Amino acid sequence: MSDRRRITGPESALPLVFAPTPNNQSTTKSPQEKTNSGIRNFFIKTGIVSNCNGSCFLEVDNTTIIVSVYGAKPIRGSSVTSASFSVMTKVSNNLEELSNFTSSDLSHSKEEKEEQKLAKEDEYVTTNQIGKTQLSLVEQKLSTYIQTAFLPSILLEKYPKSSIEVFINILTNDSHTNSSLLSLITWCANCTSLALVDSGIELKDMVSTGIAKLTDDQTVVIDPSYSNEGRKTVGGQEVRAVASYMSVTDTVVGLMIESEEGVNGEMIEKVIDGCNTMAREIRSNMNGFLVSTM
Amino acid sequence: MSFSVSEKDYLYQSLSSKTPIRPDGRKSHQLRGIEASINFLPNSNGSSRIRLSDGSEVIISIKSKVVKMSTLADLIELDLTIDNLRDDLTFISDWTNILRNSLLRNFADKFECLKLTTRYYFKLYVDVLFLSSSSNARTTKTDTSFLQNPLSMISFGIYLALKSTRLPLLISNSNDKDIEELPTFNDDWSSTVLLYPQDEDEEIKENNTTSQNSSSPPLLFVLSVVKNNLFIDPSIEEQEISDCGLVIGWCSGKVVSPIESLNLNQSGSSEYIKGMHGQNIIEGIKMIENVAATVSKGLDEIVKDGNNSVFMDSIF
Amino acid sequence: MSEEFQLKPVSFSPEVLARIAPELSLQRHLSVGVRPCLRSFQEFKSVQINPQLDSINRYTSNQGISSKSTVLGSSNIKCGNTIIFCTITGGFIETLLPNDEADENVKEYEKIYENSEKQENNQQDDSLSNFRTVYPIIEIERGRTGAPTDEEMIISQTLHDTLLNSKILPKESLEIDLGLKTVDKDNNEIIIYPNESKDIDSSLFQFPRKYSFVLYASIQVFSRSGPILDAAWLALMIALKSTKLPCVYFDEKNSNLLNDISSLSSKKSVKTGVVNAKSGSQIICDPTKSHDLKLNNSDLYTTTIGLIELDKDFSVEIEDVENNEDFKALSVDKHTRNEGEPILLCDIEGDAEENAIGSRVVVIPDINTEDDDNLVSVTIIGGGSKVTKQSIQNSIGLAKLRSKNLQQQS
């Protein structure tokens, strides 16, 4: 059944297939030389969307995110004692689909590996998700993470019979440095936090989120940016983690750990500590920003 | 329908005390007993059924199909149906994602088994049906207030089903790089190959635990955090009042991703959701490290026993 | 009951009045020569054209070639508070070669295409079939999900039709001159294109089928405060100007593997996909080479002017307008306007104006021609307000002025 509400173009159109960029030609220079210990510079601005209750714009490297908060708005015909809270994410529909599962990492004969790599790299055919109704996998994961992480922070019982809706729009995502899903989650969460503050909805505490990875040699890298070079080392014993904190109660409200191999408690402890360090730094940054905008 | 304030308060008090008391009297690292059987669906390559004593039931069927190579991530498809709930509910696709990702991530060696020729692969379709004990009490297709988190149970089911999966034997040439040829199979069911080969020799198994374990499907464990206490396999009452939920994967003797926080509270009220401390996560991982091996051993027993329905209780 | 019953006049603060009686509040504003948004009647919103989103354009990224992006062109504009992002992506479509047996579905498509054009433009020049348009999807962020709203549908359709009818995008611009990926003497893979290699036998480039691009536009609008057709059109035009089309080559070697990939992607076009996937799979975009999209006339701008009549009953008399410096400047319009003529409002903003404005005039002037009176289109929507000859002329004048300003800006 064709979509009659949208102008979707001819049915028989094929998506563009781009050949993989030859390595020597992808002159990837990291926009900002990054040392292992720091967090990349980021730009924030609140209140840029006028027809919502609170909004925030965040830019880090080439990733740009707009979060708008709608609510608390009344829901008709419902008599719940606390507000419902929902998160919708939209990755601009022509950005490549992020995959947190990298098929090229899997062990196969060399020849085959190359073949698969080709298949993998060719994945970025145009995704014309025109008229799509369901969220993509990435959008889904992002929404769920943010919803889980922010549920404890919002005083939902102050807003009976109403709903609070968060809309996350990822306008651009940097395909050079951090196409990783975890990194995207981190920045979306931090942006959401400021948008919620901007909306004036009552919060127990601001949530701040950090990302860290534990490399082969057991060193913790905060806010890792995946340059082309870095991506090749993925697949070793590497643990990547995102954790969201409410610093008043010092509790973890959101957590996502990824690794190709098995992990143990010690590794988790290290990587979570890294996240905590970054989250605290982000928090003090956000505090400074909020004070300066008062 | 939900718990009253005093009921919740009582539960919270008893679970958060120093010597916690779970409503069903379990120890904090004790799972609920399950009744399981495998291979009961004659039409599928592998199947399993798990029942809890409260009447919840999970049925898994695994079917295979020959596909042309695309990307490895496409080789497993998972479909999750819960009671008669609408399938576009967000948490259902969340759970599907978690289950599917854990399978894909920890299936690495197994993709080799799915490989038929240089061009063709087996594709596995994992169909999951979860029937919850509260389905009768439900009035609408979106009412989820009394749905317990089934991730753990489903992962056990998938474990059993995958271990019992048999794939037909290829009789055509496995190298078709130069000449394209459709793969053909032996049509005798008795000559099919197990996806996860069973070790016949008990002793080898004992000595060689690691290598045996390396070919196990992943398991997922759901933990509920209440103050400083952790509870494995939380019941619906425990989910309702937990500070935070945690899902931890386990495969081949190791804790693996996903390690994620989880919203256990399906009824939508957030008064008890508080988050957890960093230490809880570490403790949770330790708990899983202790318990998981026993669970997988227990499940392996069921596979060995074949078609008989086995009631596992004392094992956990 | 000794208390005396009295009828007191209720008075509201301006904010409250604007909420409970938007019409009245608007009329009162207008009668003193200012709009609720504090602009004067014929003052346009400021337009800021930001540099395109460098990081996402595949071929113009400032960090070399963006290896994963599929975006061919983009724009980012700010119009008052409203922010608009527009991205252009593409697809292939087979086109008919003369006297060639083409796929059924291609014929079908061509037929539909021609038909629809004919129906729309019965009276017009047949040459419209030599022009193409883009397929826009517009999304106006307003905290809801689900099916597109009426406004989104109408604007998409308007953009689609306007672009076609203004003959900006000639058919030839989207046609693909296929190159060929082959192996040279030293067994190196090379890609040759017909236009850059004169010495190569042109018979090499005889391909069984001919392909064209189709362009899709995705437009996202934040902070909508009034009708957004003008801004959306502007964003689309700027994005189209920045669009670079990839060079495309035919790959003989890689056919097998790519067959698999395109069979995956052909899920969308279920009925027709199978046939096309086979032939289309060897058509590959060059990762680095591209050329500009050629447009006929990229200096067309739509301008929407709202017409509203002043209601005498609602007006406020300010006694000493003459003496008040602030009002003097604002009430110029009021005095130059003839009695009975509707007021012209530029860049409609706010719910009150949107609801109260009965008629809108949408003008697209052609400012590139010598003859100053050339217009591409004039549309009058609605009939709620009186539309006079004078007001149409004034609207056209305003539209020309604005177009010239925008031309200078971009």
| Confidence (pLDDT) at B144 | 67
pLDDT at A253: 93
| Min Cα separation C281/chain A (Å) | 8
Phi then psi dihedrals of residue B71, to 5 deg: -120, 155
**What's the domain range around B94?**
28-305
Nearest to C266 by CA among B69, A1, A116, A13: A13
CATH of the domain at B268: 3.30.230.70
pLDDT value of position C388: 87
| C104-114: pLDDT as tens digits | 555 555 655 55
- Does residue B17 lie in a domain region? no
Is pLDDT above 60 for A237?
Answer: yes
Higher pLDDT, A291 or C325: A291
What's the total number of domains in chain B? Answer: 1
- Reported in sequence order, the residue ranges of A13-104 that DSSP labels E, i.e. its strands, are 14-15, 42-46, 54-60, 63-74, 84-91
C104 or C57: which carries more pLDDT confidence? C57
pTM, two decimals, is 0.84
Shortest Cα–Cα distance, B195 to chain A (Å) = 18
Token digits of residue B217: 């499907």
What's the pLDDT at A115?
Answer: 37
Q: What is the mean pLDDT of residues A239-266?
A: 88
Tell me if C218 is assigned to some domain: no
C342 and C280 co-located in one domain? no
Q: In chain C, what percentage of residues exceed pLDDT 90?
A: 19
pLDDT tops 50 at residue C274: no
Q: In the predicted model, what is the mean pLDDT of residues A80-87?
A: 85
Q: Does A116 touch chain B (CB under 8 A)?
A: yes
What's the average model confidence in pLDDT over C110-130? 58
Q: Identify the pLDDT of residue A222.
A: 86
Confidence category of residue A107, pLDDT binned at 50, 70, 90: very low
What is the tens place of the pLDDT at every residue in C166-197?
888 988 889 888 887 777 777 777 777 776 66
The CA angle B35-B37-B43, to the nearest 5 degrees, is 145
Q: For C189-204, how does the pLDDT look when each residue is reduced to its tens digit (9 = 90+)?
A: 777 777 666 666 666 6
What is the C-alpha to C-alpha distance for residues C155 and C234, in angstroms, rounded to an integer?
A: 13
Residue range(s) defining the domain that contains residue C351 = 14-45+301-409
Q: Which residues of C touch B74 (CB under 8 A)?
A: 264
In a domain, residue C349? The reply is yes
| Residue with more model confidence, A137 or B33 | B33
In this predicted structure, the answer to whether residue A54 has a pLDDT above a threshold of 70 is yes
Residue C146 in any domain: the answer is no
Q: Are residues C355 and C317 in the same domain?
A: yes
The domain total for chain C is 2
Domain membership of residue B19 (yes or no) is no
Radius of gyration of chain A (CA): 20
Kindly tell me if the per-residue pLDDT of C125 is higher than 80.
no
The reply to whether B255 falls in a domain is yes
Distance from the Cα of C261 to chain B's closest Cα (Å) equals 6
- The answer as to whether B313 is a domain residue is no
Under the banding of pLDDT at 50, 70 and 90, the label for residue C374 is confident
For residue B294, tell me if it sits in a domain: yes
Any domain includes C353: yes
Specify the pLDDT at position C255: 46
At residue B141, the pLDDT reads 61
Q: Looking at the domain assignment, is residue C398 inside a domain?
A: yes
pLDDT number for residue C153: 93
φ, ψ of residue B111 to 5 degrees: the values are: -60, -30
Give the span between the Cα atoms of B226 and B19, in whole angstroms: 12
Bridge partners of A85?
A164
Position B138 in a domain: yes
Going by pLDDT thresholds of 50, 70 and 90, the confidence category of residue A210 is very high
Cβ neighbours of residue C36 closer than 8 Å, sequence gap 6 or more: C18, C25, C26, C29, C349, C350, C352, C353
pLDDT at C304 over 90: yes
* Residue B294 C-alpha, separation from nearest chain A C-alpha, in angstroms: 18
What pLDDT does residue C317 have? 62
* pLDDT at position C262: 40
Residues of C in contact with A124 (CB under 8 A): 68-70
Q: Which of C258, C292, C326 is the last residue of a domain?
A: C292
With respect to residue B7, please indicate whether it lies within any of the assigned structural domains.
no
Average confidence score pLDDT of chain C: 76
Q: Which residues of chain B have pLDDT under 50?
A: 1, 200-213, 314-316
Q: Say if residue C281 is in the same domain as residue C180.
A: yes
Whether the per-residue pLDDT at A23 is higher than 70: the answer is no
The answer to whether residue C120 neighbours chain B at the CB level (below 8 Å) is no
Q: Which is higher by pLDDT, C205 or C87?
A: C87
Choose the most confident range, by mean pLDDT, from C98-102, C115-119, C203-207.
C203-207
Structure token pair of residue C69: 């992006």
Residue C85 pLDDT more than 60?
A: yes
In a domain, B89, yes or no: yes
Phi-psi region of C67 (alpha: psi -120 to 50; beta: other; left: phi over 0): alpha
Residue B67 has a pLDDT of: 83
Residues C315 and C403 in one domain: yes
- Using the predicted structure, report yes or no on whether residue C243 has a pLDDT greater than 70: yes
- Residue C9: which pLDDT band, with cuts at 50, 70 and 90? confident
C147 in any annotated domain = no
Give Cα separations from B85 to A26, A67, A237, B88, B193 (angstroms). Answer: 48, 31, 40, 9, 36
Does residue C187 sit in the same domain as residue C263?
A: yes
Q: Which of C289, C295, C288 is nearest to C410 (CA)?
A: C295
In-domain check, residue C191: yes
Give the Cα separation of A241 and A258 in Å (integer).
6
Does C252 share its domain with C354? no
Alpha-carbon gap, residue A138 to C71, rounded angstroms = 19
Q: Are residues C264 and C353 in the same domain?
A: no
Question: Is residue C108 in some structural domain?
Answer: no
d(C-alpha C133, C-alpha C215), whole Å:
8
* Beta-carbon pairs below 8 A across chains A and C: 198
- C62: which strand partners? C64
**What is residue A165's DSSP assignment?**
E
Question: Does residue C172 sit at the B interface (CB-CB below 8 Å)?
Answer: no
Taking an 8 Å cut-off on Cβ atoms, the answer to whether C261 and B69 are in contact is no
Same domain? For C258 and C359 the reply is: no
Nearest to B256 among A251, A259, A269 (CB): A259
Tell me whether residues A116 and B71 touch, CB distance under 8 A.
yes
> Beta strand C82-95 with A14-15: parallel, antiparallel or unpaired?
antiparallel
Whether residue C265 is predicted with pLDDT greater than 80 in this model: the reply is no
Within 8 A by CB and 6+ apart from B208, the residues are none
C315 and C366 together in one domain: yes
- pLDDT for res B309: 59
**Does residue C193 sit in the same domain as residue C286?**
yes
Instruction: Give the pLDDT of residue B208.
Output: 42
Say if residue A56's pLDDT is above 60: yes
Q: What pLDDT, on the 0 to 100 scale, is given for residue A121?
A: 33
Q: Write a three-state SS string for chain C.
A: CCCCCCCCCCCCCHHHHHHHCHHHHHHHHHHCCCCCCCCCCCCCCCEEEECCCHHHECCCCECECCCCCCECEEEEEEECCEEEEEEEEEEEEEECCCCCCCCHHHHHHHHHHHHHHHHHCCCCCHHHHHEECEEEEEEECCCCCCCCCHHHHHHHHHHHHHHHHCCCEEHHHHECCCEEEEECCCCCEEEECCCCCCCCCHHHHCCCCEEEEEEEEEEEEECCCCCCHHHHHHHHHHHHHHCEEEEEEEECCCHHHHHHHHHHHCCCCHHHHHHHHHHHCCEEEEEEEEEECCCCCCCECCEEEEEECCCHHHCCCCCCCCCCHHHHHHCHHHHHCCCCCCEEEECCCCHHHHHHCCEEEEEEEECCCCCCCCEEEEEEECCCCCCCHHHHHHHHHHHHHHHHHHHHHC
Angle between helix axes A265-293 and A181-199 (nearest 10 degrees) is 40
The whole-angstrom separation of Cα C106 and Cα A11 is: 10
Contacts of C223 in chain A (CB under 8 A): 48-51
What part of A 209-268 touches B (C-beta under 8 Å)?
246, 249-265, 268
State chain A's mean pLDDT as an integer: 76
Question: What is the pLDDT averaged over residues C390-401?
Answer: 90
Strand pairing report for C169-170 and C131-132: antiparallel
Residue A12 has a pLDDT of 78
Q: Positive or negative, the Cα torsion across C390, C394, C397, C399?
A: negative
pLDDT at A232 over 70: no
